[in-house]
Structure 1
Amino acid sequence: MEAFLLVIVIVLILVAYSRFADVKQLIQRQSDEISQLRADFQEFRAAAGPVDPSAKPTMLDERGAIIDIPDEIPAPTVVRPEPAPAPAPVVEQPESRTENILPPPIPKDLAVPPMPVLPTPPPVRAEPQLSFFQRFLRDNPDLEKFIGENLINKIGIGILVLGIGYFVKFAIDQDWINEIGRVFIGILAGGSLIGVAHRLRKSFGAFSSVLVGGGLAVLYFTIAIAFHDYHIFSQTVAFALMVVITGFSILLAISYDRVELAVVSLVGGFATPFMVSSGEGNYVVLFTYILILDVGMLVLAYFKKWNLVHIVAYGFTVLLYGAWLSDSILENKPHYRGALVFATLFYAVFLAMNLINNLKEKTRFSALEISLLLSNTAFFFAAGMVILAHSGHQAYQGLFTVALAIVNFGLAAFLYRRQSVDRTLIYLLIGLVITFVSLAVPVQLEGNFITMFWALEAVLLLWLAQKSGLTLVSTASVLVLGLMLVSLGMDWADLYGGVVTAPLPIILNKAFITSVVSIAGLLGVNRLLNTQTEPFRFWIGQLEVAGYRRFLRFITVLVLYLSGLLELDYQSAIRLGFGPNQTILLGCYNLFFLAGLLFNAQRVGKRGTLWVAVGLGLIGIIAYLSTYSPATMTLLNDYYLSNEPSLIGFPFHYASVLFTLLILWLIDRNKTLLAPLPPIVLRLWPWFMGYVIVYLATSELFAHVIYFSFAGSKTGGFVGQPALVRFDDLLTQTNKVGLPILWGVCAFVFMWIGLNRKNRQLRILSLSLFALTILKLFIYDIQGISEGGKIAAFISLGVLLLIISFMYQKIRKLILTDDANATHEPVS
């Protein structure tokens, strides 16, 4: 065993020496260079020789060249009312060497030159934080001195303690010393080490501290052996003796002003209960003793800023309490009330230990101290939640969280009035208050209540940040708003998409009310952002207000759209099923929302916003042509020929037509705000408008022919196959007779508008539609059409063509003028 320990010591010394060998070599090289510079300077002085008194003194200028110092420097002429006094006699200076005299500087000019304007110096970078290894090299440049004066004495005291132990063990094995004598020798050895250390404390501070630590260790082990092995002392007496040793060691640490002694005494204090333990496991006695020990460290923290002592006490307390709590819960031997009481006391002690010295000295809090404060709060919160969860008091978890928020708020309010307190601490406490208030909601409430609370909290935090100027609170507002959006999505998925026993009522349900409150919160934050100037600062950077405002407006519009869409989709699916009625209702809602976006973009007048709204509007028109309009005919077919129970979507399709025309009109009206547009777009736009209008009119014609023909009964007086034949015949007759007339009317309207607005594109569109109608009439419609249909179609189309021809003849000169300027005509 002894050889093994010796090998460990040698290996540690070799590792330390090899680790710092390069640094030692660098320091040695610098020392050699300094010695060489000294030798060169001495040679220069020897070569200069004695100073000639007749020689003129010289000096070096800025470039390093040797220049003469003039004997006399003419003084500037000064006009005085009285004659100047006679100059003082020149006293010769004793002969001296030039290297020992610093000659006066030569004035470059008799007149006082103007002061040069110096450029603004660049900002000085803050010195980088040194690592532990770099700080060690800075504090211990001489490794040989560090090893000889610091490291070896610690190793030596350890070996000495082991040697005394081995000697005592050998004496015991040989029965030289009885049990009481053995204990007496141990106490005498420990006391002797402490006495020698006390004599050497002024001359050898570090060495005496090591001796005291060794003496205390000997005393601790001696009392433990006397109790466990020899049963000389009872448990109470042994415990009291170790408490006295611990208190004595703390006094020595304060007296010697050595943090090492405080750490040794603290480790011994935490080891005492285990050294005198009898295995009964009385947690009250254990934690009471640890609490007393921590209170002692709290008193020590008031006088000394020893973070190492704080860390050791905190680490041992958390380790012992956490191990006991987990063990008692796993073995179903809980002491929940006592566990919560001691956890609260430990939290209060270490909270005070974190604050007390910095508040007394009015110093800033370091990152280590802030980390200890945060971890202390986090461990206490975790312990409280675990205790309440396993004790069957889950209902009080939210109250416990709010209580922590109140404690931190009270502490922040108390410290805020003191101007000398570090502001970082106050911001940290405010952050903890916001955190626990935000956590209390999901802990105590469920589902959509969390979302509604976070939506309102985000507005409140931003308002509070603007009133108080606290950047941390505004940052918390951004985070809480993000949590609200995530929670809102989860609520939508759970309430609209989850399995429910009873359907939600229309509008007055949890999901839609949550959406309304969330929208109100987003609108409130948007309103407050209009007066926000400071960016939102995070640990990874900052968020500019303008970008955040644009993003939040987009999110608000998206949430507003999804709120209505999901509610309508859910209610229509529950009550109407997944059929054409639902498609028409959703299409009506989408077109209404797009029309509102276009109207708002027109009111705002921003080109980028208008481009987005126009693009969405065009998508909506295409969706109507491809999906929503065909759904009307599908609804009529399913209702009159199949088992569709309701025709409620048919009245709503009128709103879809109206919103589609409104979108088309808004896009056409705002083309000037989108300029310049490509010429191809200007040429194709009238054709697109004409196609949409003709399509709308055509689909409405088919729908109303079917609707009015089958009105009054689901089959119009027919059942089964006759109803289907009747349905197809009506579509065929409408296609061959009604469409030529309708398209002719549309072409006539286009021509009339084109002539009145002098728009050549609309006139060409009208003629093209007439040509298409005539071709369709003679190639397709004339076959199988009834005599009445032929008469109506041909007469109507002929009359329209004659009227258009008459209009062309009447305004022939205008048309010729338009044709001459056709290539320069802007299309509108």
Structure 2
Amino acid sequence: MSEVLLVIFITVIIFLIFNNLNGKIRRLEKEISDLHSKINNPQQNTVSQQQNTIAEETGISAQNPSIPIHEEIRTEEIPTPPQKDWLGPVFDFLKQNILTIIGIFTLVLGIGYFVKYAIDKNWIGETARAGIGLAAGAGIMLTGHFLRKNYAVFSSIITGGGIAVLYFTTTIAFREYHLFTQNTAFIITILITFASIVLAYYYKSEVLIIFALLGGFSAPLMVSTGQSNYLFLFIYLTLLNIGMLAASILKHWKSVGWTAYFFTSLYLFSWTSEKAELLCIAFYIISYIIFYIFALQDYIKKNVLSSWDTLMLVLINFSSIIGVVYIFNTLKYEPVIIFPLLFAVPNGLLAVKEYGKRSFGFSYSIFIALTISLITLATAFQFKAHLITSVWAIEASLLLYIWKKSGHKIFKTCFYILFPLVIISQIMTWTEYFKERQMAVVFNPVFLTSLVTIATTIVNLFLLKKINETRKEKDTFFENVFAIVSYGVIYIALLLEIVYHISDMPWAAMLSIGLLFSIYYIFVLMLLRKKLDIDSSVQTGLIYLFLLLIVFNSSFSSSEVVNAVLQKKLSFSFYWVHLLQWIPFIYILRNTAFIPDFYKTELSYWIISTTLVVAVSCGFYHTYTIASVEDISNINRTKEHFNILYLPIIWAILASLFIYISLKKNIPEYSRIGFALLGIMVLKLYCYDVWQMDNISRITAFIILGVILLLSSFTFQRLKNIIKNMVDKKEEEGGRK
């Protein structure tokens, strides 16, 4: 018992000290305020003195406000404060009140530990314990009441701490001590919530009503016995949200609406995931109406939409769609498109209203964008697209569109958060390819969902391009990463659909078709590089990837196809399919202006020439093999024969071609490449090939190579003379002029 007396004594001492310090602080605040007014308003005193002087000289009373003062007597213009970031007020509040928040939290914990200590010592019974908690909560609230005039925010936090004590005391009295029945405990928590809301309205305290809402939404969990009575729960939550809406409209407290939306969504999604039933839909629609009105209150009063109101419109539409469509899909009801179309109606009507007023500003753009997005969702759901992926993909594009129209960074931030979730959800959707069998071509749920993601990704790229055109600053790193990820998503979506439907074919066919698709996909991206505004560094990366795929398809993939044809796993005609790679490759080789940034370094000429040599050599080798080999057991002998007899000839022709191009287009690097290839060919010929040939082959190879080299040399000499004559003629004509 001595510990209790000690605690009471210390509390009284602290109160007396605090009261004494509080009086001194008030006097000091008054002195500072008076001094501050004298320091900050010297000009007002000067103006007053000048007015009195003018009045004395002219006989006009300076107290008459209708008489103008001399024009030179002006007050300085007050500079407009810079616009703060949306998190600024939050951080300002925390900086100013963090000690108060920590203090009240510590006090609540101290009371709790004290009561626990008293219980452990058996000083008080169960009823007394609850009584102490309730009395402590009421005392803290009373303290906040007395401090409300001079310390509004401080008193709100203190009062909120008292409310928390009342909530927790009621919960403990019900759960641990069983002093109340569940209904009684719930009624008490409702009364606490109602009293808190009334106090918040009376004190005009937004902080206090947030405490009240937190307690109100926590009350069902506090008095829960584990038996779900969702009808009663959501009737209570609906009444709480209606109270929130009234307070928000009367006091323009937006934070209470966001707090209520967060907790209501958690409860709704929890109910939906635990037990999907038609009753859920009724409360989804009721919540939709309440928060839709909450988001539109400024639009109704002032015909304006703030960034946060717009974000609420987006969230309430799409979160409601996810819930109700999930319930319909779970219960196997049709048609699910009724809900996105139903939610599109109010947005469409508001868009029509703006159109009727010939007002095509931000509000019209938002309503028409929401309407189109919901109708698009309805179309996707009609074709059985996956729910979450489709909703998030369209929502991400909508957020990017709103960012473009408004310029508010909150939508940019939300897009950055949501876009990775779209990718993750799409990847999870793609796993259905490994589970499902016999899905239709194109018109299957997985690919239809991919089409939604592809369409929204293309829209995102277009919108991002428009945003960059209207803003001077550009985050190149993010734009490049976003572009690469977007093109990768489109590529994987199309590739997986192709591979799924050819999965019964041999591995060589799947590999060849996949590589051909990859080559043509990159080629199309390069063709559309200007329209897609692809960065030059990304273009260069695409070229390197394109050439790597050409090499891989020409060597490894073609070899697999040849083996499959010889083993009768594939038809002979399939071999010619993989040669389609030459169409884009030849186009790139012939149009050097197609990739101008690629040729800025000497290394690029070596890379593209090496790719050409490998592709031509492997192409002739595989064609020769498939045409001359009937039994796969003879393939090694055919390979050795080709390498010794025909490969040096092919390299000699290619080397001559490189040197010819070098002289014709004045590109010295091709000349070096040509001579390097000739050197490799000669080394191979004299160091290895001649020792493996028979006499007839050796004679044939040397004669053919000799003729090729002599003809090439003769051609080069003629070309050099032609070029020299042209240069001399131009110099002579220049001298005459």
Bin the TM-score by the shorter chain. Answer: 0.5 to 0.7
Cα distance in 2 for residues equivalent to 1:530 and 1:310: 44
Contact preservation (8 Å) 2:658, 2:670: yes
* Aligned: 1:562 with 2:492: yes
Q: Which residue of 2 aligns with 1:596?
A: 524
Q: Which residue of 1 aligns with 2:368?
A: none
TM superposition shift of 1:654: 0.6
Cα distance in 1 for residues equivalent to 2:239 and 2:666: 90
Cα distance in 2 for residues equivalent to 1:425 and 1:815: 71
TM superposition shift of 1:490: 2.3
- Structure 1 residues 197-216: aligned runs within 5 Å: none
TM superposition shift of 1:669: 3.1
Contact preservation (8 Å) 1:450, 1:487: yes
- Structure 1 residues 426-825: aligned runs within 5 Å: 426=309, 430=313, 433-434=316-317, 436-437=319-320, 439-440=322-323, 443-444=326-327, 448-461=386-399, 463=401, 479-492=417-430, 494-496=431-433, 498=434, 500-529=435-464, 532=467, 552-572=482-502, 574-577=503-506, 579-601=507-529, 603=530, 609-625=535-551, 628-640=554-566, 644=569, 650-666=575-591, 668-669=592-593, 673=597, 677=600, 681-682=601-602, 686-710=605-629, 716=630, 718=631, 723-724=632-633, 726-757=634-665, 762=670, 765-766=673-674, 769-770=677-678, 772-774=680-682, 776-783=684-691, 785-786=693-694, 788-807=696-715, 810=718, 813=721
Matched AA of 1:14: I
Cα distance in 2 for residues equivalent to 1:452 and 1:754: 54
* SS of residue paired to 2:707: helix
* Aligned: 1:419 with 2:302: yes
Contact preservation (8 Å) 2:499, 2:514: yes
TM superposition shift of 1:491: 1.7
TM superposition shift of 1:520: 0.8
Task: Provide closer, same or farther for how the CA distance between residues 752 and 420 of structure 1 changes in structure 2, counting only shifts above 3 A.
Answer: closer
* SS of residue paired to 2:528: helix
* Aligned: 1:406 with 2:299: no
Cα distance in 1 for residues equivalent to 2:604 and 2:464: 39
Cα distance in 2 for residues equivalent to 1:342 and 1:730: 84
- Structure 1 residues 74-85: aligned runs within 5 Å: none
TM superposition shift of 1:114: 11
Task: Provide closer, same or farther for how the CA distance between residues 455 and 727 of structure 1 changes in structure 2, counting only shifts above 3 A.
Answer: same
Contact preservation (8 Å) 2:442, 2:497: yes
Task: Provide closer, same or farther for how the CA distance between residues 306 and 760 of structure 1 changes in structure 2, counting only shifts above 3 A.
Answer: closer
Task: Provide closer, same or farther for how the CA distance between residues 423 and 5 of structure 1 changes in structure 2, counting only shifts above 3 A.
Answer: farther
* Aligned: 1:12 with 2:21: no
Q: Unmatched 5+ residue regions in structure 1?
A: 34-75, 77-112, 137-205, 214-258, 359-363, 537-542, 711-715, 821-828
Contact preservation (8 Å) 2:649, 2:705: yes
TM superposition shift of 1:703: 0.7
Q: Which residue of 2 aligns with 1:355?
A: 248
When structure 1 is superposed on structure 2, of 754-763 and 19-28 the one drifting more is 19-28
When structure 1 is superposed on structure 2, of 302-311 and 556-565 the one drifting more is 302-311
Task: Provide closer, same or farther for how the CA distance between residues 411 and 30 of structure 1 changes in structure 2, counting only shifts above 3 A.
Answer: closer
* Aligned: 1:322 with 2:221: yes
- Structure 1 residues 57-68: aligned runs within 5 Å: none
Cα distance in 2 for residues equivalent to 1:728 and 1:308: 83
Q: CA RMSD in A?
A: 5.6
Cα distance in 1 for residues equivalent to 2:291 and 2:425: 26
Cα distance in 2 for residues equivalent to 1:422 and 1:760: 64
TM superposition shift of 1:614: 2.4
Cα distance in 2 for residues equivalent to 1:308 and 1:534: 42
Task: Provide closer, same or farther for how the CA distance between residues 740 and 335 of structure 1 changes in structure 2, counting only shifts above 3 A.
Answer: closer
Cα distance in 2 for residues equivalent to 1:533 and 1:482: 21
TM superposition shift of 1:705: 1.3
1:333-389 per-residue CA deviation (whole Å, 9 max, x = no partner) reads: x5443344344334434543x33652xxxxx53xxxx55444444444444555566
Contact preservation (8 Å) 2:652, 2:681: yes
TM superposition shift of 1:628: 4.7
Cα distance in 2 for residues equivalent to 1:687 and 1:389: 60
Contact preservation (8 Å) 1:441, 1:450: no
Contact preservation (8 Å) 1:431, 1:473: no
Contact preservation (8 Å) 1:535, 1:545: no
1:667-719 per-residue CA deviation (whole Å, 9 max, x = no partner) reads: x43575568x4xxx43x555554443333222122111111124xxxxx2x5x
* Aligned: 1:341 with 2:219: no
1:93-149 per-residue CA deviation (whole Å, 9 max, x = no partner) reads: xxxxxxxxxxxxxxxxxxxx996999987766999668459999xxxxxxxxxxxxx
Task: Provide closer, same or farther for how the CA distance between residues 522 and 691 of structure 1 changes in structure 2, counting only shifts above 3 A.
Answer: closer
Cα distance in 2 for residues equivalent to 1:741 and 1:318: 84
- Structure 1 residues 232-311: aligned runs within 5 Å: 281=181, 283=183, 305=204
Task: Provide closer, same or farther for how the CA distance between residues 765 and 115 of structure 1 changes in structure 2, counting only shifts above 3 A.
Answer: same
* SS of residue paired to 1:327: coil
Matched AA of 2:284: T
Cα distance in 1 for residues equivalent to 2:703 and 2:498: 48
Cα distance in 1 for residues equivalent to 2:276 and 2:546: 54
* SS of residue paired to 1:348: helix
When structure 1 is superposed on structure 2, of 289-298 and 412-421 the one drifting more is 289-298
Contact preservation (8 Å) 1:388, 1:396: no
Cα distance in 2 for residues equivalent to 1:671 and 1:420: 51
TM superposition shift of 1:488: 1.4
Q: Percent identity?
A: 18
TM superposition shift of 1:504: 4.1
Task: Provide closer, same or farther for how the CA distance between residues 771 and 487 of structure 1 changes in structure 2, counting only shifts above 3 A.
Answer: closer
Which protein is bigger by CA-based radius of gyration?
A: 1
Contact preservation (8 Å) 1:290, 1:317: yes
Task: Provide closer, same or farther for how the CA distance between residues 648 and 292 of structure 1 changes in structure 2, counting only shifts above 3 A.
Answer: farther
Cα distance in 1 for residues equivalent to 2:71 and 2:665: 79
Q: Unmatched 5+ residue regions in structure 2?
A: 33-56, 58-69, 102-138, 147-157, 331-384, 729-737
Cα distance in 2 for residues equivalent to 1:791 and 1:664: 35
Cα distance in 2 for residues equivalent to 1:688 and 1:778: 26
Matched AA of 2:626: Y
TM superposition shift of 1:20: 7.7
TM superposition shift of 1:480: 4.4
Cα distance in 1 for residues equivalent to 2:508 and 2:396: 41
Contact preservation (8 Å) 1:587, 1:628: no
Contact preservation (8 Å) 1:401, 1:440: yes
1:317-348 per-residue CA deviation (whole Å, 9 max, x = no partner) reads: 55654333x2151xxxx544334434433443
Cα distance in 1 for residues equivalent to 2:6 and 2:505: 87
* SS of residue paired to 2:302: coil
Task: Provide closer, same or farther for how the CA distance between residues 442 and 535 of structure 1 changes in structure 2, counting only shifts above 3 A.
Answer: farther
Contact preservation (8 Å) 1:448, 1:511: yes
Matched AA of 1:728: N
Contact preservation (8 Å) 2:217, 2:237: no
Structure 2 length normalisation: TM-score? 0.61
Matched AA of 1:452: S
Task: Provide closer, same or farther for how the CA distance between residues 399 and 19 of structure 1 changes in structure 2, counting only shifts above 3 A.
Answer: same
- Structure 1 residues 3-402: aligned runs within 5 Å: 6-17=5-16, 131=96, 281=181, 283=183, 305=204, 318=217, 320-324=219-223, 326-329=224-227, 335-352=229-246, 354-355=247-248, 357-358=250-251, 364-365=252-253, 370-386=254-270, 392-394=275-277, 397=280, 400-402=283-285
Contact preservation (8 Å) 2:480, 2:538: no
Cα distance in 2 for residues equivalent to 1:775 and 1:348: 89
Task: Provide closer, same or farther for how the CA distance between residues 413 and 810 of structure 1 changes in structure 2, counting only shifts above 3 A.
Answer: closer
